[in-house]
Chains A and B, each alone.
Chain A
Amino acid sequence: MSIELAGVVRRGDSEVAPLLEAAPGEVVALLGPNGSGKTTTLRVLAGLQPLDSGTVRLGGRVVDDGASVFVPARERRAAMVFQDHLLFPHLSVLDNVAFGVRRDRARAELAAWGVGELAERHPRQLSGGQAQRVAIARALAPEPAVLLLDEPFAALDAAGRVEMRTALRHRLASYEAPVVIATHDPVDAFVLADRFVVMAAGQVVQTGTPAEVAQRPRTAFVATFVGLNVLRGTARAIDGGTIVTPAGATAGLAVYSAHPAEGDVFAAFSPGAVTLHREPPEGSARNVWQLHVDAVEPLGDGVRVRLAGPAPLIADITRAAVADLGLGSGTAVWATVKATQVDVYPA
């Protein structure tokens, strides 16, 4: 089933104008700051929010024409996963997943998400990561024609996020319905999505493949959003973690991650995870690179430092830090990143 959406939802003075297409099996990431209309877009697709004008087509069938036609959520087969899992607190895990399907189907989906042994528990007895797995299992159990995810990992800690993301990516690989995932986490978007739809103030401001959007961001949000440090290389287990060595590179470029991986992978970490020093840093940090400053640019209320050398990186630091370190073009610095901050995922 495909998605075609172009319409307007009015709320008092403001309006949200969702514009989105997705082919079967395609994963679209809906990006934008809070309040930009991502959730409204998902609610329109789910059948929880009628359009004031415009059209929603699911699989070619008009399910909302902004006037006389409005197919309610229960007839759309569009499953939605909310940020705060919203498991029914009075039902067991199994009964939650079996809410719309037979129990054997529910058990199979729970097992697929590695939470089969939690079937008899109640939601309040689950960790955040477990609850979100159950919530996704519940959404997927009826084999929905459309899967909508609203910030599905936002409530999880860093480790849980990496784990969930990997599990979801694995599951979506064999999933034939279109998937729309609203997120403000760049890693989610780059790992999971085939295409980006960027929203700002209720309007769609950019669409394209991740590469297109990353290369030519048209909003400050996307510029920050895609400003990831990403390295591709070969992963090898070492000391309970992973070392990623880019093909044909010198040893100095290797990146350590605390997360397990193997084979051809991406290693990604955010510019905010980079710490800069004028002296060789002491301590246990494994990712230490000697680089020099290429450019210093204001970014939001902080500063983005572009570093050149064997590993070109971006580092986001505070203005105070720039002054303390006395950074200018050409300054020699040591950059460090904690291994726990480095995400690795299959290329």
Chain B
Amino acid sequence: MSRRRGVAALPRWAYLPAGLAMCFLGLPLVGILVRAPWRRLGDELFSGTVAEALRLSVLCATAATVASALLGVPLGILLARADFPGRRVLRALVTVPLVLPPVVGGVALFLAFGRKGLLGPWLESWFGVTLPFSTAGVVVAETFVAMPLLVVTVEGAVRAVDTRYAEVAGTLGASPSKTLWQVTLPLARPGLIAGAVLCWARALGEFGATITFAGSFPGRTQTMPLAVYEALEHAPEGAIALSLLLLAVSVGVLVVLRDRWIGGSA
């Protein structure tokens, strides 16, 4: 025991700020757990507007994850494997939404897909689609914010796969598509799953871009985070119940990633 402490010897004063940091990060979570309306949890979560927000959130986050996977996985593979001019610029561009304040993302989406945006009028006249303040708009906002996480994770996962596996597949007569589906993607699977989970969690918690681009209309665009924000004023118990749910989802995501990412085998 004493030997072990000797190895990790830290100056004593360091324990104080470290302990404070732990309290600072932990206390708000404890607050949710302590103040949660445990007895009426079921009622709160499955009553009218809250249940609607929950349903809408899961629906939109899942749709955003599917959209992100369809577009983001190929982009991640491209960034990892293809060699083309401007790849660094493209990678930087992909990571912009990761660091951009989500509200700015919402504004940017307006300028692109709004009624007077770059693409908006075309979408309206050709397909009759109006994205702002619609459920589809929520999906677009969440995809914009969450897809980069998937792209970056997939890129890292594909990059970690030995390129010679693809070469072996080639010498065995496999087409590039067969190599991708049967060799590269299966070998990158843990990263793909991690990327999708991260993407889904990020989409589920999305607030700024959603409220800016899609507004907060119950049943149509009001997802859980927006509902929490609104409920806090007039129905704080409902807000706490929803927060508890989101906290549980976050913990669940961490558990999944721990198994898939750190402990899991390929």
Contacts and interface: CB of A to CB of B under 8 A. Distances in A.
A73 B171 contact: yes
A255 to B, nearest CB: 40
Interface string A52-93: 000000000000000000001111111110100010111000
Contact of A99 (B167, B174, B186, B187): B174
Contact of B165 (A80, A88, A100, A142): A88
Interface string A140-167: 0010100000000000000000000000
Given A48-B171, A72-B170, A79-B172, A90 B164 contact: no
Nearest to B164: A86
Contact of A79 (B171, B174, B189, B266): B171
B170 A47 contact: yes
Interface string B166-204: 011111111100000011001101000000000000000
Nearest to B186: A90
A184 interface: no
A44 to B, nearest CB: 13
Given A86-B162, A89-B266, A90-B187, A48 B167 contact: yes
Interface in A18-61: 46-48
Contacts of A86: 162, 164-165, 168
* Most chain A CB neighbours (cut-off 10 Å) among B162, B169, B173: B173
B169 A48 contact: no
Contacts of B183: 88
Contacts of A73: 167, 170-171
A138 interface: yes
B258 to A, nearest CB: 21
A99 B182 contact: yes
Interface string A275-313: 000000000000000000000000000000000000000
A78 B173 CA distance: 9
A80 B171 contact: yes
A82 B170 contact: no
A138 B171 CA distance: 11
Given A88-B183, A90-B186, A46 B171 contact: yes
A73 B167 CA distance: 8
B168 A100 contact: no
Nearest to B265: A124
Contacts of B171: 46-48, 73-74, 76, 78-80, 139, 144
Contacts of A139: 171-172
Instruction: Report the interface size class on chain B.
Output: 10 to 19
A99 B170 contact: no
A77 B189 CA distance: 29
Contacts of B173: 74-75, 77, 100, 142
A144 B172 CA distance: 9
B108 to A, nearest CB: 40
Contacts of A75: 173
Interface in B182-235: 182-183, 186-187, 189
A74 B175 contact: yes
Nearest to A95: B182
A123 B110 CA distance: 52
Contacts of B186: 90
B172 A99 contact: yes
B168 A74 contact: no
A100 B175 CA distance: 10
Contacts of B266: 89-90
Given A86-B162, A86-B164, A88-B165, A100 B172 contact: yes
Nearest to A86: B168
A82 B175 contact: no
Contacts of B189: 90
Given A86-B162, A86-B164, A74 B187 contact: no
Contacts of A77: 173
A132 to B, nearest CB: 14
A234 to B, nearest CB: 42
Contacts of A46: 167, 171
A48 B166 CA distance: 10
Contacts of A48: 167, 170-171
B187 A89 contact: yes
A95 B170 CA distance: 16
Contacts of A74: 170-175
Q: Which 8 pairs, one residue from A and one from B, show the smallest C-beta to C-beta distance? A: A73-B170, A100-B172, A90-B186, A100-B173, A80-B171, A74-B170, A73-B171, A74-B173
Interface of B: 162, 164-165, 167-175, 182-183, 186-187, 189, 266
22 contacts: A46-B171, A48-B171, A73-B167, A74-B174, A74-B175, A78-B171, A79-B171, A80-B167, A80-B168, A80-B171, A82-B164, A86-B162, A86-B164, A86-B165, A89-B187, A90-B187, A90-B189, A90-B266, A99-B174, A99-B182, A100-B172, A139-B172
Interface of A: 46-48, 72-80, 82, 86, 88-90, 99-100, 138-139, 142, 144
